[in-house]
Amino acid sequence: MEKALLPRESGQFIATRSQDVFVEEAGVQKVAEMLFSLRHSDALTASGWKKANPLAPEPTSDQALNWVFVVDTMNFSFWPEKENQQCEVTYKGTTYTGYMTLCASITRAMEEGIPITDPKYFSQMSVEELGHVLRSDNETPMPMLQERHQVLTEGGRVLLEQGGSFRSFISQAGSDAQKMVELIVEKIPSYRDEATYEGKRISFYKRAQILVADFWGVMEDRGQGDTINIDWLTMFADYRVPQALVYLGALRYSDTLMQALRNGELFCSGDQREVEIRGCSIWSVELIKEHLCKLVKERDGQACNVNSAIIDFYLWPFAKQHHREMAHIPIHHTRCIYY
């Protein structure tokens, strides 16, 4: 089988051929201007990983790196079948939904003495044991428990074969973000987020890229993040950030696609429309970054230190914070292990 295009090249390939999703130049420039106005704020920095991940262990410990691996390996498909039926986890007085239920569950398990961040344990834990770790506080369970169990035990076995920890595994790639992503995708099948579009193998590698970005974030908090060429990463193509890009005018959906989304149609992983949403999201963020860096150079006379991962780190919480204002833009739904 031919080698898949890497995520950035995949985004460009898809955006130049897309039939239902379109990158809007005016919207791209508008988002770049918005980010330019925030260039001196903490919103566009990678510092403070602990602040962005308040439920994680202290980044000074290698346990934080294993926590990142466990969470990112199971970081997919949290959307509820019905909006009023969400899995909930309450931890230290705060009730969490969505992705944060996973973070709260793993940290709760650690406090209960369950060695959930030890590959020796999670590589052979039972479905029932994982179900207990991921238990909900209400009647709505965490979706896809069987799939989460399969990918976590698989990932744990790989870590045991590769030195016994996430740090020992990822260190094989040196300080190269591209090599890190390629290593993860090569060794751990559940991270192999690929599809076929217009006869070409393409990739998004959403979870693999987030895993590398989180590793970078932990190392950044230790003062060691500047050794990793994080600029290679793209945005992390999911279902929440594309909604924000449409809301901000950087993406536009065709009437046909919009109607399918409003009808609640469930897209299969690899569906042409799903691939176009994700690919055009990647490329629009690349263009936003390019335009932002041009603004910084022209107006400030400086080099731009904002990369695609940082833009994603801004857009994802932006979408969560403004979910009411953008409720008229439906998100696409795909039940899969990739995002």
Nearest to 68 by CA among 223, 146, 180, 174: 180
DSSP 112-140: TT--TT-HHHHTS--HHHHHHHT--SSS-
Q: Is 192 helix (H, G, I), strand (E, B) or coil?
A: coil
Strand 194-197 relative to strand 200-203, pairing: antiparallel
Please check whether residue 292 is in contact with residue 32, taking contact to mean a CB–CB distance below 8 angstroms.
yes
Dist. CA 162–CA 154, nearest whole Å: 13
Nearest to 15 by CA among 235, 194, 282, 243: 282
Query: Is 72 assigned a catalytic role?
Result: no
Please check whether residue 305 is in contact with residue 230, taking contact to mean a CB–CB distance below 8 angstroms.
no
CB atoms within 10 A of CB 48: 13
Catalytic residue among 72, 214, 238, 312: 238
Residue 174 sits at the vertex; the CA angle it makes with 170 and 179, to the nearest 5 degrees, is 75
- The token duo for 261 is 């989304």
Dist. CA 312–CA 285, nearest whole Å: 8
Which residues belong to the active site? 238
